[in-house]
Structure 1
Amino acid sequence: MKEAPMLAEMVKAGKLPPVQERLPKNPYVVPHPWLKEGKYGGTLRQLCSSSDDWGTTHLIQESMYGNSPLRWHKDGLAISGGWVEAWEANEDLSTWTFHIREGIKWSDGEPFTADDVLFWWEDMVLNEEVAEGPPDEARSGKGTLAKFKKVDDYTFQMIFDSPTPLTADRLAMWVKRGIGPGWSAPKHYSQKFHKKYNPNVKKNWADDFSFPGGKAVDFATNPECPTLTGWKLKSYTKMRNSIWERNPYYWCVDKWGNQLPYIDTVIMTNIQDPEVLKLKTIQGDCDFSHGGFQPFTLADVSTFKQNESKSNLHVEFWDSGSGTSSMYFFNHDYADPKLRELVRNPKFLKALSHAFDRQTAQTLIYYKTGELTTGTLSPKAIEYVINDQGKQVYRSWRDSAVEYNPDKAKQLLDEIGLKDTNGDGFREFPDGSKLLITIDYPADQPQNGEHVRKNELLAKNWQAVGINARMTPQPPTGYDDRWQAGKILMKTAWEVGDGPNHLVYPQWLVPMEYSRWSPLHGNWYNLRGTPKENQQKNVDPWKRNPPRIGPFDKEADPNIKKIWQMYDQTKTEPDFMKRTQLVWDMIKVHVDNGPYFCGVAANTPRIELFHKDLRNWPTHDDLKSWGQGGFVNPWIHPTPAVYDPETWYWENPDQHTQS
């Protein structure tokens, strides 16, 4: 095994064990075919633009897969082990056994074992004082939580009360202990903050287990918190930057036996003003810019290419895999009953979709790239490409309300009684009261960005068919609380990219949490199997904590009940094609009763910027020959983590150092 010279010096000085003792018995070997043996050293500079510190914490985590038990490869077409080396299930797929790579160590040198998994589950997830909450992949199709069992130091089991065929797929989602749920925590470090292990902890001890920002478990804000990632936090300044240094115990190597990462240091600097961010990128203050993190659009490509000599950045394109590009969707559980009834009406939803001139949006914003779509999950999803029926299902959803037809839109609006009764040019409710559609968007969105430009077209198109539509910026503070309380009508600054199949992260297809099109239904589903599931039944749904609508409420949507029932069947159905048919059936509910969310164009490209001296990053051709050309947009397929930036290196590392 080989290691970085700086680590070899520490070994020689007796400050660090030899590399063979720092690596597990069977390290993870990065498999990508485009890799070349690299050189150690140097600093990688990245920039982000964030008004809420998302960039300096979460975005850098999306570059590091180290805390995840399993990993996706080939743009979601394959799965390999992560810190789990091997796994198997019993015959009915109700008990899953996971074998941890023996000898993995946390960044402080302490062993990583099944105790760290059980600590996360028993002392964080199941502890009601800690806000971790159970991930959906730990629930069976019956809504009950799995039981976790330690078999030995390097083996644990998940035991369900019914088959759970998607467990392995779902353990590869996200970057765990980062964007996604934990799946482990450093028990030896975290237990000193936990009341169960330390009776002398502070009164609000559970705050130390919050994420982000919790001292006990947040390795992105607390340099003392151990991690399994390739780089560990050296320093963090809120809203300004985070500096990461190589983890001497990182458990991954390349095929030449070199312990990764190659690059010594990663610096993520937050630039709150997107225009200043662009200027600094052009001026050469950035070595890598990932399209999934930045406000850059295809309109910026010519500027980046014209300034290549100044920035030293090469422009590359990876497929977004998006099913929508910039999208919009209504709050299906809006608190006002008249508007709620309206946005649940399929004719209203279809009318506004037909009133939207997507072709103009595609031309002006996406330069005629991608394919026009009503809005679906990613076109790269396996359910769409597996056979002719899948292709037809995709087309039926993609084309269901994609046609730009203002006359059809007006006819549908007339049919539901929305007419201009006072002669002001805008339609009123059937009872004659004013109708206003607020096109809500976060106030910190760049005014020339894709979302705002799309919203401007939406407002113009909807006004043209008699809908009084007004763009309404929403302050970021308290946004999530207002959304799940039904106080915000629309979300318009997002996109759908999720795949590689619909069931690993079905939140766009199935209401199961609060951030998407049916927040109160999602909140109820998310609490299934917990003590809160059947509490507060006599309380107004919008006044419950959290606000939620269950199947027993008069406000419940019967179409969502259907989706929930079919989704629960998929969670216990071991036959792949039967699960796929259930997915197609859920899509039909969307087609018949939606569109519940609407996009512009699918699979538009994403801009990737790489310094001319940086090596081992994949080109679009590399990704096309190995996978699907890239799959940038879905956070559950964590890009660039899936391409292992720990393998990237500087051709001339001495020229890329920064203190």
Structure 2
Amino acid sequence: MRKLITLLAVITLFITAFAAEVDWLIEDTEGEKGGTMFWSTTTDPKTLNPAWASDNNSNMFINMFIASLLSKDEEAFYKKPYLAKSYEAVNAADGGMDLTFNLRKGLKWSDGTPLTSEDVRFTFEDIYFKKNMSVNGNDGFTDEDGNLPTIKVIDDYTVVFHYNKPMRVAIGSIGSTGILPKHKLGQYADDPVKFPQIWTLEQMDDLVASGPFIFKEYREGVRLVFEKNPYFFAKDKNGVQLPYLDEHICVIVQNAETEVLKFQAGELDFISVSAPTYVSLKEKESSLPYHTVIGSYVPGPTFVSFNFNSPKKEQRVWFRNVHFRKAVSYALNREAIIDSMLNGLGTPTYAPRVPGEPYYDKEFIDSLGYRYSLSKAKRELKEGGFTWGNDGKLYGPNGNLVQFDMVTNVSTTSWVEVGNILTDSLAKLGIEVNFRPLQFNTVVNNLMGGSFESVILRLSGETPDPNDGWNTYLLDGGLHFWNWSPEYLKDVNPDLLDPADYEVAEWERRIDEIYRLQKSELDDEKLRDMFEEWSNLEAQYMPMIYTFAQNSLLAVSDSLHLTSEELVPYRGVLWNIWTVWKDQ
């Protein structure tokens, strides 16, 4: 018995000593421990595998339980130490750059396994640096010449990434990538067939967490439940281990209207709202226990896009024709949408950056003059070789009747409204649109499989740095959906496109070139010129026809205390969720 007690004492001392070694992330905050936060989404996640998540909804949930080396700072750049206690980028002797990350001591996965430099090495060297082991490929980590960095593990807490040349984007690209557990996923290294199939929604019991929360329960179409990770490595300024919340529950609802009803009934603690909803909630907030918040324009404006490699070959001729795309832009009455649908709480958009953001060249974009005009739309169609028959219908350069499907997420009311307005407007030009609002995951599957004809969506960037859009704007990017490369399609839809029918315009090649060169551009003025050129080319040739950007709008229960209610673009409502707390 004495030996057992002695052994237990030694184990206790070891655990205590190990715990004391943790290099805690100290947050300058104080709140109340306990409680459950309720929030909502209209869509189930598609996967919980960080390397194979291609939609924002899945990534949002993954960020709850998988931590990265760095997290977003107050301006939404990945510069704040997280798993890494510190980091440093210095010029190397060979003219390149060494990027060193120093991990916090005492880090553990939620199953008690130590999290070390070997997990970092595994994450990059065995997964993300391999071309076919993630949905976006490895271009986000290469330099302008296509070279990947080498990795050197110094000890359990120190990892060095060596680039052949200085890399402006290395801190963000490496620092924002979720670190994966080698002890759980190491068996799938170099297996591009099995690896995408692990950590599905049916495999929640196999997940381990390094972030603030752990998955506890998932019921398809009903809810996702998260509980606090007891090994999370952050404390507040009073020494209280974070997160404050015991759990949070994300309810899956059918549509935004249901979200509002649940919020007003006190079943949800906050909701992001549309402009019409904001006006209604604003009128009632003085008599109910909630308040509303209005912020700047939401980055990543809504767009309409066409598939240059549509399954219907006659459509490829139209969709690749810039005059056709300009005509659609002229046919979209953005100002009417903002006045009638957004109650003025938004702005027309014609470029990937919203007005007021860096790299938005207002003078050039205003000079394009894409304001609503059906007469200008008809002129563009004529210049593009389109004609009208005696029946008033529009026919393409090859004599085919111009008609196509357009899809969007049925749960996003504003996208559905844009589709309805544009369908009516295009009908006045003799164009037949079969507009079909669908479930979001169906839309994404059609998009990623190259089987869509046209779509209404929006892309949201991770940070204010346009480099985060590399997978969209590189020709071989994993989200270059309007003109999928033959290399991409051969793996997902090999019968869709004959490589001989693949076309890349000069403007598209130039954007690809900009995105490769900007990675290592350290001169701020040259970088600004590059990204303004990219934005202007997007606005001029419109692979995505941008529509509007709404103001950030939020309704929050008075009992919920977010980390910040200042709606900073790119940061997100649940920024630093581990410091969110609720009145008990």
Query: Which bracket does the TM-score occupy, shorter chain normalised?
Result: 0.7 to 0.9
Tell whether 2:346 aligns with 1:370.
yes
> What residue identity is the alignment partner of 2:242?
L
User: After the TM superposition, which of the residue ranges 311-320 and 101-110 deviates more from structure 2?
Assistant: 311-320
| Residue 251 of structure 1, aligned match among 233, 249, 259 | 233
Structure 2 partner of 1:345:
321
Tell whether 2:269 aligns with 1:269.
no
Distance in 2 separating the partners of 1:398 and 1:370: 17
- Cα deviation, 1:124-156, whole Å, max 9, x if unaligned, reads 446789656644332222223333221211111
Instruction: Spell out the pairing of 1:414-453 with structure 2 (5 A cutoff).
Output: 414-421=382-389, 423-442=390-409, 444-445=410-411, 449-453=413-417
Q: How far apart are residue 368 of structure 1 and its match?
A: 1.0
Q: How far apart are residue 361 of structure 1 and its match?
A: 0.5
Distance in 2 separating the partners of 1:595 and 1:470: 22
Structure 2 partner of 1:38:
31
- Checking the alignment, whether the CA contact within 8 Å between 2:450 and 2:493 is kept in structure 1 is no
- Checking the alignment, whether the CA contact within 8 Å between 2:131 and 2:138 is kept in structure 1 is no
Structure 2 partner of 1:84:
84
- Checking the alignment, whether the CA contact within 8 Å between 1:517 and 1:597 is kept in structure 2 is no
Q: How far apart are residue 641 of structure 1 and its match?
A: 4.1
- Checking the alignment, whether the CA contact within 8 Å between 2:324 and 2:381 is kept in structure 1 is yes
Instruction: Spell out the pairing of 1:485-564 with structure 2 (5 A cutoff).
Output: 485-495=449-459, 499-521=463-485, 524=487, 545=494, 555-564=503-512
Q: How far apart are residue 167 of structure 1 and its match?
A: 1.0
Structure 1 partner of 2:198:
210
- Checking the alignment, whether the CA contact within 8 Å between 1:374 and 1:399 is kept in structure 2 is no
- Checking the alignment, whether the CA contact within 8 Å between 1:282 and 1:310 is kept in structure 2 is no
Instruction: Spell out the pairing of 1:613-624 with structure 2 (5 A cutoff).
Output: 613-619=559-565, 623=566
Distance in 2 separating the partners of 1:600 and 1:56: 20
Q: How far apart are residue 80 of structure 1 and its match?
A: 1.7
- Checking the alignment, whether the CA contact within 8 Å between 1:320 and 1:497 is kept in structure 2 is no
- Checking the alignment, whether the CA contact within 8 Å between 2:84 and 2:103 is kept in structure 1 is yes
Distance in 1 separating the partners of 2:330 and 2:480: 22
Question: CA 1:190 to 1:59, structure 2 compared with 1: closer, same or farther past 3 Å?
Answer: closer
Tell whether 2:545 aligns with 1:598.
yes
Residue identity (%): 20
Partner-residue secondary structure (3-state), 1:40 = coil
> What residue identity is the alignment partner of 2:40?
L
- Cα deviation, 1:232-288, whole Å, max 9, x if unaligned, reads 223333333222222222111223332211121212222335544432222111123
Q: How far apart are residue 29 of structure 1 and its match?
A: 2.5
Structure in which a larger fraction of residues adopt helix: 2
- Checking the alignment, whether the CA contact within 8 Å between 1:356 and 1:461 is kept in structure 2 is yes
Tell whether 2:299 aligns with 1:322.
yes
Question: CA 1:136 to 1:24, structure 2 compared with 1: closer, same or farther past 3 Å?
Answer: farther
| Residue 630 of structure 1, aligned match among 565, 568, 578 | 568
Tell whether 2:109 aligns with 1:143.
no
Question: CA 1:164 to 1:206, structure 2 compared with 1: closer, same or farther past 3 Å?
Answer: same
Tell whether 2:358 aligns with 1:382.
yes
Distance in 1 separating the partners of 2:68 and 2:366: 33
TM-score scaled by structure 2? 0.84
Q: How far apart are residue 58 of structure 1 and its match?
A: 3.1
| Residue 118 of structure 2, aligned match among 115, 120, 126 | 115
Structure 2 partner of 1:656:
none
- Cα deviation, 1:601-652, whole Å, max 9, x if unaligned, reads 33x2233232212235423xxx3xxxxx411xxxxx452343x22222223x
Question: CA 1:42 to 1:186, structure 2 compared with 1: closer, same or farther past 3 Å?
Answer: same
| Residue 373 of structure 2, aligned match among 386, 392, 405 | 405
Partner-residue secondary structure (3-state), 2:332 = coil
Q: How far apart are residue 116 of structure 1 and its match?
A: 0.9
Question: CA 1:496 to 1:598, structure 2 compared with 1: closer, same or farther past 3 Å?
Answer: farther
> What residue identity is the alignment partner of 1:586?
W
Structure 1 partner of 2:523:
575
RMSD: 3.7
Structure 2 partner of 1:73:
73
Tell whether 2:237 aligns with 1:285.
no
TM-score scaled by structure 1? 0.76
Distance in 2 separating the partners of 1:282 and 1:226: 35
Distance in 1 separating the partners of 2:560 and 2:491: 52
Partner-residue secondary structure (3-state), 1:618 = coil
Q: Which runs of 5+ in 1 are unaligned?
A: 1-10, 177-181, 197-202, 216-220, 385-392, 528-539, 624-628, 632-636, 654-659
Distance in 2 separating the partners of 1:301 and 1:48: 17
Distance in 1 separating the partners of 2:326 and 2:84: 46
Question: CA 1:167 to 1:615, structure 2 compared with 1: closer, same or farther past 3 Å?
Answer: same
Distance in 2 separating the partners of 1:132 and 1:16: 41
Question: How many corresponding residue pairs?
Answer: 565
Distance in 2 separating the partners of 1:84 and 1:100: 4
Q: How far apart are residue 363 of structure 1 and its match?
A: 1.0
Tell whether 2:276 aligns with 1:299.
yes
- Checking the alignment, whether the CA contact within 8 Å between 1:320 and 1:605 is kept in structure 2 is yes
Question: CA 1:580 to 1:21, structure 2 compared with 1: closer, same or farther past 3 Å?
Answer: same
Distance in 1 separating the partners of 2:472 and 2:188: 35
- Cα deviation, 1:170-223, whole Å, max 9, x if unaligned, reads 3454xx4xxxxx4x22223444x5589xxxxxx9993586354484xxxxx33x
- Checking the alignment, whether the CA contact within 8 Å between 2:330 and 2:370 is kept in structure 1 is yes
> What residue identity is the alignment partner of 2:99?
W
